[in-house]
Chains A and B, each alone.
Chain A
């Protein structure tokens, strides 16, 4: 089954404790992206990757890091999480360029205390 898998689905942690949210897709998609979703603010892109070893900032990259060492994986790293990073996070992937459907993971709800 074609899918985007995120882990963990839920995480409660404390300020300053490094964490990684993993994302993996099995569709051989070149393009992958991370979004955060906050009430009333819609989907805001954090980082995206056009292919292996190619990443770029989205609209809200501060406080986040990403890497793309393999085509299928695109982890999101919070080196020193803060409460304002409490949010619902989605990973997404898409084949090739712009006008292709984007597939989302089931989301990760992060709470930073």
Chain B
């Protein structure tokens, strides 16, 4: 079955710098890759997603890139701000399978 690995588990960056979180997946049939942000004590919320027919997607300061050959995808946050501090989860799923397989999460700390 599918397995998703996420790195790093903790990432500390200076405010204003960029942050990159990486995930690898094992099943080449996976075709949907969402990223969720979870602030302390709150529910996970979708921040961006990408489908396998696209290599990159951007939404303001957030971007996701997908390398299907290498089976990895990454979240890029530019010009980080204090409100970006949270835990970020990646996930992968196959269209025909109802399952989202989750990474273990990355705690992003933005240092002032």
User: A residues engaging B (CB < 8 A)?
Assistant: 31, 40-45, 48, 50, 90, 97-99, 101-102, 104-107
Contacts and interface: CB of A to CB of B under 8 A. Distances in A.
A50 B95 CA distance: 13
Nearest to A101: B46
B89 A107 contact: no
Secondary structure type dominating chain B contacts: loop
Contacts, number: 54
A97 B100 contact: no
B42 A99 contact: no
A86 B43 CA distance: 17
Contacts of B104: 40-42
A99 B89 contact: no
Contact of B95 (A43, A90, A99): A99
Given A42-B102, A98-B31, A90 B89 contact: no
Contact of A99 (B46, B93, B103): B93
A62 B92 CA distance: 24
Contacts of A48: 98-99
A90 to B, nearest CB: 6
B103 to A, nearest CB: 7
A42 B43 contact: no
Nearest to B104: A42
A97 to B, nearest CB: 6
Contacts of A98: 31-32, 93-100
Contact of B31 (A40, A99, A104): A99
B21 to A, nearest CB: 13
